[in-house]
Structure 1
Amino acid sequence: MQTVTAADGTRTAYETHGDGPPLVLLYGGGGRRFWDPIVPAFTDEYTVVVPDRREHDEGAPTEGYIQREVSDVEAVIDAVDGSPVLFGHSFGGLKAIETARVADVRAAVAYEPAYLVGEYRQQADLAARMQEHLDAGEPREAMKLHLKEVIHGGDIADFDSWLEAWDGWPEAARNAEHAVRMDRALEQHELADPLDVDAPALLLAGSEGPSHLRDSVRTVHDRLAHSRFVEFDGLGHLGPVTGAERVIAAVESFLGTSPDLTK
């Protein structure tokens, strides 16, 4: 395990696998282990770099939340050898795109980046609803709201059964306070128009993902000058885990056929 230090002094740990040009994997929730189904597919050709996310202090302002996370990715980029490909999921997908706006990267890949757009963003109140449960000493109920909205778009017939069968529960409830701070930052963040990213981008989504994220990924695609969009039939928001082989194939195709990446 190695560490880097961001501009504000925050240290970020990261692990590396394989050998070759850098491929940085950015998770949204669930920790570095989220990428376990993806990492082995790329280690023959890339140095796969998997950083942790920082812990945001309870008293830290929402303003600058995303910029602080981007600065951590920039610190990782400075530490690796060569211009990287960034591949992010959910909030990590947003970080991949936002970092590509300010840093030298070869490409950005984002699976359902967690931008909020249109009417959904105007009415978003997930953070406030979660905070009510946290204030009442109910972190599990707060995290249930987060998971139901973020993974299923608030629309799932038997959420409790899904939750009990999910490997991440109930441990995920420990991150409820972190999740509400992230959701509050996302509700306040406005997607730039246009998105000034020079590097080629691949946008990925599942047909069964939350409708608001499927709207956002198409909006991101429209606002990027150089992007490709792929939707996976039957996959949901956790596509890189539940459909890893299909996601890997799409990323490999993009990295191998994009003219800007094969020069």
Structure 2
Amino acid sequence: MTETGRSAPALALARAQDGTALAYQHHGEGPPLVLLAGQANDHHWWDGVRADFHPVRSTLTLDARGTGDSDKPEGPYSVQQFADDVVAVLDALGIARADVYGTSMGGRVAQWLAIRHPERVRRLVLGCTSPGGPHAVERDAAVRRSLAQPDPAAVRRALTDLMYSPAWRAAHPGPYRTLGDPLMPPHARRGHLLASNGHDAWHELPGITAPTLILHGDQDRLTPPDNLRLLASRVPGARTHLFPGARHAYFEECRAEAGGLVREFLVEEGRP
């Protein structure tokens, strides 16, 4: 295996340990950066920003099982399983070690990737995510109600508001690629929800050995920003940054600053 990945076709498939087909997308040249999307989203979550990393990294995304061009088995699903699926894709590409950037549920998956497979993670970036379990700070009841409405259009409006500030939406009218994979079957959508809700890495987080950067919008109501502080208290040596005024999708709303911070973190000298 090599640390440097090579570009793959636009549509390529790897096989998980249980035989599930996993679609992945590998673009650019150089050492790989794995980008992990949020709950019930495919690789298009990263469309707006992935090119920002190509000056220093190739980018590797995947459609998590249940989304995009990947198989959609009945389940059950778990974030640990999603992490093992990432390893299956790395193996298929012959990548021994990669940088990993996970946001939202992808950040939960990234935690387990660094916990279960530390030799595969060179540097770790966690965005708008939480340690899960009873120690996490959960979204408030009003947010939960807004996402549980029976009208799909109302849910989409609520989710858009949770993702982006009004000022940013006014300047960027969409379409937005962070609101979920519209073609997901109901069983897969529920599987992703249960997987994300079942995440609890509190006791394992101190075992993470990869240098870690934690990012969050300070107006995030979907995953409250107090979770940044909690994660930083558990991951040894973790660095943090809060983006003023940003909501859940800080990586788009604060694209220039967030992308710059991640690039600098990935290429800085003096640490592995």
2:26 aligns with 16
1:93 aligns with 107
2:4 aligns with none
1:110 aligns with 126
The percent identity for this pair of structures is 24
The whole-number CA distance in structure 1 between the counterparts of 2:112 and 2:152 is: 30
Summarize the Cα distance change of 1:59–1:24 in structure 2 as closer, same or farther, 3 Å threshold. closer
Summarize the Cα distance change of 1:233–1:74 in structure 2 as closer, same or farther, 3 Å threshold. same
1:69 aligns with 82
| Structure 2 gap segments, 5+ residues each | 1-10
Summarize the Cα distance change of 1:8–1:125 in structure 2 as closer, same or farther, 3 Å threshold. farther
Q: Give the Å deviation of 1:83.
A: 0.8
Summarize the Cα distance change of 1:251–1:238 in structure 2 as closer, same or farther, 3 Å threshold. same
Greater relative contact order (Cα < 8 A, sep 6+) = 2
Moved segments of 4+, more than 3 Å: 56-59, 114-133, 138-145, 148-152, 168-181
Task: Give the structure-2-normalised TM-score.
Answer: 0.75
Q: How many residues align?
A: 248
Task: Verify the 8 A CA contact 1:26 1:92 in the aligned structure 2.
Answer: yes
Are 1:234 and 2:249 matched, yes or no?
Answer: no
| Structure 1 gap segments, 5+ residues each | none
1:4 aligns with 14
Secondary structure, aligned partner of 1:77 = helix
Structure 1 range deviating more: 193-202 or 174-183 = 174-183
CA RMSD of aligned residues (A): 3.5
The whole-number CA distance in structure 2 between the counterparts of 1:21 and 1:53 is: 22
Structure 1 range deviating more: 36-45 or 168-177 = 168-177
The whole-number CA distance in structure 1 between the counterparts of 2:227 and 2:152 is: 28
Task: Verify the 8 A CA contact 2:111 2:201 in the aligned structure 1.
Answer: no
Summarize the Cα distance change of 1:142–1:43 in structure 2 as closer, same or farther, 3 Å threshold. closer
Task: Verify the 8 A CA contact 1:202 1:229 in the aligned structure 2.
Answer: yes
The whole-number CA distance in structure 2 between the counterparts of 1:43 and 1:257 is: 16
Summarize the Cα distance change of 1:85–1:233 in structure 2 as closer, same or farther, 3 Å threshold. same
Summarize the Cα distance change of 1:8–1:126 in structure 2 as closer, same or farther, 3 Å threshold. farther
Once the two structures are superposed, residues 13-48 of structure 1 have per-residue CA deviations (whole angstroms, 9 ceiling, x without a partner) of 111111111111111154322222322222233221
Q: Give the Å deviation of 1:115.
A: 4.2
The whole-number CA distance in structure 2 between the counterparts of 1:260 and 1:28 is: 28
1:187 aligns with 197
Q: Give the Å deviation of 1:205.
A: 0.6
Task: Give the structure-1-normalised TM-score.
Answer: 0.77
